[in-house]
Amino acid sequence: MVCECQASHAGTEVARPEPELAQARKELRTLYAALDHVENGLLILDDELCAVYSNPALHRIFDSFSAEEIRSRKPSYVELLRAANSASVVDLEDYVAKRLRWVRSGDPKPMDLKMSNGAVLRCHLAVLPRGGRMLIYSDVTDIIRHAEELQRLATTDGMTGTYNRRHFMALADLEWNKAHRYERPLSLLMLDIDHFKSINDTYGHDAGDRVIIQLANLVGSCKRAPDVLARIGGEEFALLLPETELLHAHILAERLRVEVANHPLAVADHTITATVSIGVATKSPQMLGVTQLMSIADKALYDAKREGRNRVIC
């Protein structure tokens, strides 16, 4: 009899009691009502990655689908991606494929999304029981901008906007290692404003600051994108030139020297004509690092000062 009873129930799915089903639906509605008040955008996907719930915060971020459409039609995650980014992504299919791989992987590492309006959204992914996914979107624009501002303050000179000495040394080390590894040329210019103390004493420190800023702007307008410019102290600047032999570094240095001399600065009813001395050095196999390259360029700079200023010494 025991076997017959077991056989009679084989393959038969036990129906869930109506009160229990009603209670489960009530709990789900309560959960969704609570999630409706969460400030971050929420999107819940089922095990087939189709949307089953979205909260109002999500629709304030993405307006391509309404909450009613999502709950009634259950569009796929791919549909949502294409609708939300059809006009803002250059390669839409590649973007969709990357996002889909990330969601399928269940990777807990958040992904930052840059919106067309400049906002930055941080998306966290949670794996739900039975294979579902929950995506949580938070606006981190202010956090990102604050971090970028801190990074800018930590790496740039406040007066000129060029790199500061500390960041220059870090970048110069990277360029040195690259040039050493691939046996590529690397040159360095050290620039210093001539008779800068006299400019300060005669015209005031504000005028001296303006001369420093003008030099930074002139050098910045002459350099290439890969070149690294920094104010390394007072009125002294360094310009690192990757992929540049000594001859071409000398040509650029002469051009800069002439540019500075030919661009006097008007201050009130005065005209300040400033000049620069420039020391140039290039990497050689005997050098031990970028610090030695700087030392040699610095010696050339002081040789230019001793020989009368407003000149380039290699």
Whether residue 2 is predicted with pLDDT greater than 50 in this model: the reply is: no
| Calpha distance 278→260 (Å, rounded) | 12
Contact 304, 198 (CB under 8 A): no
Cβ–Cβ under 8 Å, residues 86 and 92: yes
| Residue 157 near residue 231, CB atoms below 8 Å | yes
Whether the per-residue pLDDT at 260 is higher than 70: the answer is: yes
Please check the confidence at residue 88 and state whether its pLDDT lies above 90: no
Q: What is the mean pLDDT of residues 238-242?
A: 98
User: Where in the sequence of the chain do the CATH 3.30.70.270 domains occur?
Assistant: 156-313
Are residues 163 and 144 in contact, defined by beta-carbon separation less than 8 angstroms? no
Whether the pLDDT of residue 21 is over 90: the answer is: no
What is residue 84's predicted lDDT score, i.e. its pLDDT?
A: 80
What long-range pairs does 72-75 form, CB within 8 A, spacing at least 24? 74/46, 74/50, 75/50, 75/51
Burial 236-258 (b: 16+ CB within 10 A, else e): bbbbbbbbbebeebbebbeebbe
Summarised one tens digit per residue, pLDDT across range 156-193 is 999 999 999 999 999 999 999 999 999 999 999 999 99
The CATH number that domain 156-313 falls under is: 3.30.70.270
Region 30-143: CATH code: 3.30.450.20
Query: For the ranges 85-99, 112-126, 205-219, 255-269, which has the lowest average pLDDT?
Result: 85-99
